[in-house]
A and B are shown apart, each in its own frame.
Chain A
Amino acid sequence: MTATDEVLQRHGLTREEYQRILEMLGREPTITELGIFSVMWSEHCSYKSSRVHLKTLPTTGKRVLQGPGENAGAVDIGDGLAAVFKIESHNHPSFIEPYQGAATGVGGIIRDIFTMGARPIALLNSLRFGPLDDPIVRRTFAGVVAGIAGYGNSIGIPTVGGEIAFDESYTGNPLVNVFCLGISKADEIIKGVASGSGNAVYYVGAKTGRDGIHGATMASAEFDEKSAEKRPAVQVGDPFMEKLLLEACLEVMQTDALVGIQDMGAAGLTCSTCEMGSRGGAGVEIDVAMVPQRESGMTPYEIMLSESQERMLLVVKRGREAEVERIFDKWDLHAVHIGEVTADGRMRVKDHGAVVADIPTQALTDEAPLYKRPMAQPAYLADAQQLSLASLGAPPPASTVFRQLLASPGIASKRWVYRQYDHMVRTNTLVVPGMGAGVVRIKETRRALALSVDGNGRFVYLDPFLGAQLAVAEAARNVACAGGLPIGATNCLNFGNPERPEIMWQFARAVEGIGAACRALDIPITGGNVSLYNETDGKAILPTPVLGVVGLIEDASTVIRRTFRNDGDAVMLLGDGAEELGGSEYLKVVHGLVKGLPPKLDLAREAALQRVLVKGVATGLIRSAHDCAEGGFGVTLAESCFDTGLGAVVDVPAVEGAVASFADIATLFGESASRVVVSVDSARTAELEALATESDVPVDVIGRVGGSRIRIAIDGREVIDEPLADAERVWAGAIDHYFESRRAIA
C-alpha cells in the first residue's frame, strides 16, 4: 500500500520514517506491517528520543545481575537471592480513565517482574496531580488511588510506600508511576528470549479484544481537548486473571521446559514477538487465526496491535509442550500454541496461513530510528532562577507557616490514600506507608529491603541537572534512614514533548544529573521507563524524574522508622543548612511561587551521611531517622513526633545568608539537602558525634524527645510552640477534608 500523509499521521510516523520502512523491506508495507512499525517505532516502545542520553547512565556494578534491556533489572541481595525491580509510568491512560489507567499500570509492572521468574512482594507508587480544590482533580485522584488499590489488593501484593505531590502543571496530565519488586533465585532469572528453531510459541491469558489499539502511540502524543475521545485506547484490567497468570507462570518456571517469556504490554503481541526474537537472535512465526479472540471479525492489524491486558507469550522447548499445558490447565488457563521459533530472524505473521507481515525483527528493535533531537536552554530559566526574598515583603509568623505547611496536601498525612492499599498482605512489611521508606523482610533470611520512590519536579524545573541529582540523593537517603545500604535504582522519566528543544534540554540535563549522582553514590541504574509528551494544550508538566532506590538491610531486626521512640531520647541533627528557600514548598504554598535555585548538593557529603546512617542504624545507635525534604527541618521534626504521642523540645542555630526578615523561615522551612533528624539514647550522643565527625558530617545535639508540645527555638529564642495534638490534627485531616466535607454538602 502507498501511505498517504493522513495514514502516516494517524500512525504517528513521519515521511522520513516511512522512507526508511520502504528501504528496510525493499517494498511497500502491508497495512498490518505499517501498524507494527508504527507501534514499535513509537516513542513509548523505541525510546528514539531518549536512548542516546540513557546510554550514559551507570548500569553496572558488582551486585548487578541484570541491567537495562530486559523486562526488569536485578541485583544480588545475598543468600543466593536477587531483587528484581522496575518502575513504569501509566500517565496518559490514567488521565483518560483514572481507575482503569492506574489499575492496568499496576498490572503491567507486576507482569514485568514475574516474567523474570521473581515472585512480586512489594509495590510503591509515585503520583502527581493538580491542586485538590479542583473537582476534576479530586475525581482523578480518587480514581487513581482506587484503581491502584483495586488491582494490587486483589492480586495480593502489598503497596508499602510511595509519594504524592501536587502542582497545577499536572492538572491535565497526572503522573502515575508504579514500582514493583520481586524476589527470585539469583541463578534462575528468566529472560524474554526466543531461541531454538522449532520451539513452540505459546499464547496464555486473557483473550485479545479491540481495547488498547494504539495505546503506545497515544502515549507518544500530547493531549488536547479531544483526548476524552481516546477512551477506547485504555484497557480494562482483570487482577484475578493476572493472579492466575502469576501463579501459573511461576509454576511453569520451576520446570526447565521454558526458553523465554514476555508479557504483552505496550504494543501487545507485536512487541513481545519481535523483542523476544530480536534478543534471541531468532525469528518468530505466528498465525493470528490461532490467537484467542474476544470479539469476532478482528483483523490481523487489530490482533497484532491490541493492548488487551493479562496476556503472556512463552517459548517452550520442543517436546515439553504437554507438561506446560498441564500446569496452565490446573489454573484454568488456556495455553494456545500459536507459532514457532524460526532461524531466519524475521517476524512472520500469518492469517489462516497467508502471510500478512514479514519483517526482520532487528528492523523493529535495534534498528528503530534514533534521534539526537535539538536542545536549547529554556527561555523561562533565567527569570525563574531569580528569587528576591526581600521583594516578597514580610513573611507570615513562623507558627502560621508551620500550620499552613502541615495542612498542605503535599506534606499532609497520606493515610486517606494508603488506608485503601493492602500494605500488610504477605506479612513482610516491617515499615508501613507513612513511616519513611517502605521496608519488607525477606523471609527465610535475616535480611530486609528498604524501598523509596522520590522526585521533586520544582527542583528539576529550576535546574534539571541539580534537581535530578537531588532526586537520587533523596531516594537513597530515605532508604539509608531505615538502615538500608542503597544497592540499585530504577528511574521513571516524566517529561513534556521531546520535539521541543527546551524539553529535550531539560531531559538531557536531568539524565546527566542522575548519572552524576548515581556514580558518586555508587548506585547503578538497572532499568526504568521514559514517559514523554506529558503535555496538555501545549503546556508541559514540571519535568519529573522519579527515582526508585532499593536498600539492603543486613539484619531485619535493626530496622527503624522515621518516628521518635522513647521519651527522653536526644534529638540530633546530621548535616547543616543554609538559606535555601528556592523551589521550596514554603514558596509555593505561601507565595504561590516556583522560583530560585534548588538547594546545593555536595555528593561526597551526601555519601558520607548515608554511610553514617547505615552504620548508626545497624549498630542500634540511631533509634529513628527522618530526612529533611519538603517543608524543611520544621516539618521533619513534627513528622518525627506524629503517630507517637511524643512531643519534642529543640533549639537550632539560625542558617546563614538569609535576609533578616526571612531568617526564621529559612531556618525552619528551607529545604537544604543532606540533613536528617535522628533520635538516640541521651547517654550515647557522643558515639554518634564521633561517628559523624569521623565521616566529616556535621552533627549537633539539638534537644530532646518528650512532652506534649512541639517546641522549636532558634538560637535560644522560641519560635514555635504548638500542642502536638493540634499540629497532628491539622496534618492528619488535611486530605480527608477535601473529600469528607464535600460529601457532607452533597
Chain B
Amino acid sequence: MKFAVVVFPGSNCDHDAYHAAKHVLGQDAVFVWHKETSLQGADAIILPGGFAHGDYLRTGAIARFSPIMPEVKRFADARGPVLGICNGFQVLLEAGLLPGAMLRNRSVKFQCEHVIVKVEHTDTPFTSACRPGQLLRIPIAHGEGNYYAEPAVVERLEKNRQVIFRYTTSEGAVTPEANPNGSVNNIAGLCSENRNVVGLMPHPERACELAVGSADGLAVLVSAVKSVTEGIFPAKAVAVAR
C-alpha cells in the first residue's frame, strides 16, 4: 500500500513517518508538499508532527489553509484513513476533522518522554491490528497536548466510542498521575464519527524499532496496512483520491 506524508514547511517528523512506513514496514511512501493539490493516489494519509507554520499563533491554525487540505478533507469524507500525529492531530482539530482543542501542557513546559497509552477501540484503520486494551509504550514530545473539549462534546465522544487512546499507568489504570499533560479524561487520541480519521498526541512513528527504545508504535502503522489491504476501510476512498 501507499502512505502519503503531508509536508508543511515546519513539519519535522515527516522524515520519521516516511522512514517508519517505507523502511521499517516496507510499504510505499511519498512526501506530499502542502502546496500540492494531489494526494498521489495514496491509500492512507499521515499528517506528521512538527510546527507546521512555526505555530506562533495556535498550533496548526495556519496549516488548515494549505492547498492540500481540501484534498485531505475530501479523502477523509470518503472514509479514507487519515492519521494526525502530534502537530498533525492539532491540524486535524483546527481543520474541523476532529472536535476539540489543545491547551498548553499542565506543566506549562514542553515534555519529551515515553508514556503508556491504552488502545480503547480496535475498529479504526489505525488500531485494527491491536488487541482491545493493549498498552503501548510510545513517546510524547509536545508543549500543547492538553486536550480540551466542552463537557457535552466529551460526553458524546465517550458515548460514540471515539476516544481511541488514553494515557494510563503501566498497569492500564486511568489515573491523574498517568496523565502527562492534563488532557480531559486522559484522552491521548480520538477518531472521527466515521472512525477513519484518527489523531493522537504520542508519536507511534518514533517507536517502530527497539533500537530507539520501543517498537510498540508499529502496531498503529501495521493496522493501517491491514485495514487497507483487507479492505476494512472502503475502497471508495481510494477511488475518489485517485
Are B212 and A149 touching (Cβ within 8 A)? Answer: no
Q: How far is the CA of A560 from the CA of B110 in the complex (A)?
A: 28
Interface mask (A429-447 → B, CB under 8 Å = 1, otherwise 0): 1101000000001010000
Known: A153-B141, A240-B53, A443-B19. A425 touches B110 (CB 8 A): no
Are B9 and A331 touching (Cβ within 8 A)? Answer: yes
- Least Cβ–Cβ distance between A738 and chain B, in angstroms: 15
Say yes or no: is A509 at the interface (Cβ < 8 Å to chain B). no
Are B15 and A426 touching (Cβ within 8 A)? Answer: yes
Q: How far is the CA of A425 from the CA of B19 in the complex (A)?
A: 12
Are A424 and B110 touching (Cβ within 8 A)? Answer: no
Contact-size category for A: 35 or more
- Least Cβ–Cβ distance between A449 and chain B, in angstroms: 14
Say yes or no: is A154 at the interface (Cβ < 8 Å to chain B). yes
- Least Cβ–Cβ distance between B156 and chain A, in angstroms: 33
**Minimum CB distance partner of A145 in chain B:** B109
Q: How far is the CA of A455 from the CA of B13 in the complex (A)?
A: 33
Are A420 and B109 touching (Cβ within 8 A)? Answer: yes
The segment from B147-155, B168-176, B203-211, B228-236 found at the interface with A is: B203-211
Kindly list chain A residues whose C-beta atoms are within 8 Å of the C-beta of B54.
154, 238-241, 243
- Least Cβ–Cβ distance between A144 and chain B, in angstroms: 14
Q: How far is the CA of A270 from the CA of B112 in the complex (A)?
A: 39
Q: How far is the CA of A421 from the CA of B10 in the complex (A)?
A: 17
Known: A420-B111, A422-B112, A427-B212. A156 touches B12 (CB 8 A): yes
Are A240 and B51 touching (Cβ within 8 A)? Answer: yes
Say yes or no: is B139 at the interface (Cβ < 8 Å to chain A). yes
B206 partner, pick from A247, A331, A424, beta carbons under 8 A: A424
Are A420 and B211 touching (Cβ within 8 A)? Answer: no
Known: A240-B54, A240-B56, A430-B212. A420 touches B13 (CB 8 A): no
Q: How far is the CA of A522 from the CA of B12 in the complex (A)?
A: 37
Are B211 and A430 touching (Cβ within 8 A)? Answer: yes
Say yes or no: is B132 at the interface (Cβ < 8 Å to chain A). no
Kindly list chain A residues whose C-beta atoms are within 8 Å of the C-beta of B55.
154, 240
Say yes or no: is A317 at the interface (Cβ < 8 Å to chain B). no
Kindly list chain A residues whose C-beta atoms are within 8 Å of the C-beta of B13.
156, 425
Say yes or no: is A367 at the interface (Cβ < 8 Å to chain B). no
Say yes or no: is B96 at the interface (Cβ < 8 Å to chain A). no
Say yes or no: is A227 at the interface (Cβ < 8 Å to chain B). no
Kindly list chain A residues whose C-beta atoms are within 8 Å of the C-beta of B211.
430, 441, 556-557
B window 1-39: CB within 8 A of A? 9-10, 12-13, 15-16, 19-20, 23, 33, 35
Say yes or no: is B213 at the interface (Cβ < 8 Å to chain A). yes
Are A419 and B10 touching (Cβ within 8 A)? Answer: no
Known: A153-B141, A240-B56. A426 touches B16 (CB 8 A): yes
Say yes or no: is B84 at the interface (Cβ < 8 Å to chain A). no
* A240, A432, A557 interface centre (most CB from chain B within 10 Å): A240
Known: A243-B10, A429-B212, A443-B19. A424 touches B139 (CB 8 A): yes
Chain A-chain B contacts (Cβ-Cβ < 8 Å), number = 91
Instruction: Specify the main secondary structure of chain A where it touches its partner.
Output: mixed
Are A239 and B206 touching (Cβ within 8 A)? Answer: no
Are B112 and A244 touching (Cβ within 8 A)? Answer: no
Are B9 and A244 touching (Cβ within 8 A)? Answer: yes
Are B141 and A243 touching (Cβ within 8 A)? Answer: no
Q: How far is the CA of A441 from the CA of B56 in the complex (A)?
A: 32
Q: How far is the CA of A241 from the CA of B50 in the complex (A)?
A: 14
Kindly list chain B residues whose C-beta atoms are within 8 Å of the C-beta of A241.
54
B12 partner, pick from A149, A419, A425, beta carbons under 8 A: A425
Interface mask (A142-182 → B, CB under 8 Å = 1, otherwise 0): 00001001100111100000000000000000000000000
Are A427 and B205 touching (Cβ within 8 A)? Answer: yes
Kindly list chain B residues whose C-beta atoms are within 8 Å of the C-beta of A154.
10, 12, 51, 54-55
B window 43-63: CB within 8 A of A? 49-51, 53-56
**Minimum CB distance partner of A418 in chain B:** B112
Are B51 and A421 touching (Cβ within 8 A)? Answer: no
Interface mask (A303-346 → B, CB under 8 Å = 1, otherwise 0): 00000000000000000000000000011100000000000000
**Minimum CB distance partner of B24 in chain A:** A427
A240 partner, pick from B10, B19, B113, beta carbons under 8 A: B10
B213 partner, pick from A156, A247, A432, beta carbons under 8 A: A432
Q: How far is the CA of A239 from the CA of B143 in the complex (A)?
A: 15
Known: A155-B12, A240-B10, A427-B205. A419 touches B212 (CB 8 A): no
Kindly list chain A residues whose C-beta atoms are within 8 Å of the C-beta of B53.
240
Q: How far is the CA of A59 from the CA of B12 in the complex (A)?
A: 35
B window 193-207: CB within 8 A of A? 203, 205-206
**Minimum CB distance partner of A156 in chain B:** B12
Known: A240-B54, A424-B212, A425-B141. A419 touches B111 (CB 8 A): yes
Are A424 and B141 touching (Cβ within 8 A)? Answer: yes
A window 371-427: CB within 8 A of B? 418-427
Residues of B in contact with A (beta carbons under 8 Å apart)? 9-10, 12-13, 15-16, 19-20, 23, 33, 35, 49-51, 53-56, 109-113, 139, 141, 143, 203, 205-206, 208-209, 211-213
Q: Top 9 A-B pairs ranked by shortest CB distance? A: A156-B12, A240-B54, A422-B141, A154-B51, A427-B16, A422-B112, A420-B110, A149-B110, A240-B10
Show 9 A/B contacts (Cβ-Cβ < 8 Å), sorted by A: A153-B110, A154-B55, A240-B55, A244-B9, A330-B33, A419-B112, A419-B113, A426-B16, A427-B19
Task: Give 19 A-B pairs besides A239-B54, A240-B51, A424-B203 with Cβ atoms closer than 8 angstroms.
Answer: A150-B110, A153-B110, A154-B12, A238-B54, A243-B10, A243-B12, A243-B51, A332-B9, A419-B109, A421-B112, A424-B141, A424-B206, A425-B12, A425-B16, A425-B206, A427-B208, A429-B212, A429-B213, A557-B211
